[in-house]
Amino acid sequence: MELQLALDLVNIPEAKKLVKEVEEYVDIVEIGTPVIINEGLRAVKEIKQEFPHLKVLADLKIMDAAAYEVMKASEAGADIITILGVAEDLSIKGAVEEAKKQGKKILVDMIGVKNLEERAKEVDEFGVDYICVHTGYDLQAVGKNSLEDLATIKRVVKNAKTAIAGGIKLNTLPEVIKAKPDLIIVGGGITGQEDKRAVAAEMKKMIQQGE
C-alpha cells in the first residue's frame, strides 16, 4: 500500500519545500491539476529533478489527444499520468499504448463517472495501471467520500491497482486502510496541517501496520 502526496495549491518553490519536509514518508508526489495549469509541466520536471528517488504523478486529467499529452508529461519526467474515466475508450487505450512505449504508468481518475461498476470493469480491460475513485473538492464540500466507491470498484477490478482520493485525513485514514486500496492519495490531510512531517510519518506508520 503506497502513500501519495497531492500538491494542488502551491507554486514550484512551495512544492519543493513541502516535499522536502515529508519526502521520507511518501512514495509518490502528485503535481496537481491546478499546479500544472499555473506552472506548466515545468513543475513536474523540477520536482523530479530535485527528488529523483520519488515517483512523480502528473495529474493532467487527460480527456483528449491522449498519446500526445502522455508523451509530453513523460518527457517532463512524470512516472504516472492521469486520464479521466469519462474519456473515450480510444483515448484511454492511446494513453496506455504511449505510456508503455515510454515506460510510464497510467492512472484512470473515475471522478464524475456515473456507472462506476460498469466503467471500472471496462477500463480494467484496457491495460491501465491504476483505477482511482475520487471525491473532488466540490463533492467533499457537501460531505461525500469515496469509501463506498472503492468497495464498488474492488469487486470488479482484476488487473489494475486501486486508488482512493478525496478528503482523506489522519482521523479517516484507518477506515480507508481497512478497505485495502493499493494507493492512498492525501492532499490537505498533510499539506494543510501545522506539522506536516509528523502527520505524514504517522500516516505512513498506520499504512505499514495496516498492510
Tell me the whole-structure pTM to 2 decimals: 0.96
113: alpha, beta or left? (left if phi > 0; alpha if psi -120 to 50): beta
Q: How many CB atoms lie within 10 A of CB 169?
A: 16
pLDDT over 70, % of the chain = 97
Mean pLDDT of the chain: 95
Q: Are 206 and 173 in contact (CB under 8 A)?
A: yes
Q: Does 211 have pLDDT greater than 80?
A: no
Measured CA distances, 29 to 20, 23, 55, 124, 125 (Å)? 11, 9, 6, 24, 27
Q: What integer is the mean pLDDT of 198-206?
A: 98
Residue 146: pLDDT band (50, 70, 90) is: confident
Q: Where are the domains of the chain?
A: 2-209
Element (H, E) at 161: strand 161-165
pLDDT level of residue 210 (50, 70, 90 thresholds): confident
Rounded to the nearest 10°, the torsion over CA 66, 69, 74, 79 is -60
Q: Is 183 helix (H, G, I), strand (E, B) or coil?
A: strand
For residue 140, name the pLDDT band (cuts at 50, 70, 90). Answer: low
Please state which of the four CATH numbers 3.20.20.70, 2.30.40.10, 1.10.10.10, 3.40.50.1390 is assigned to the domain occupying 2-209. Answer: 3.20.20.70
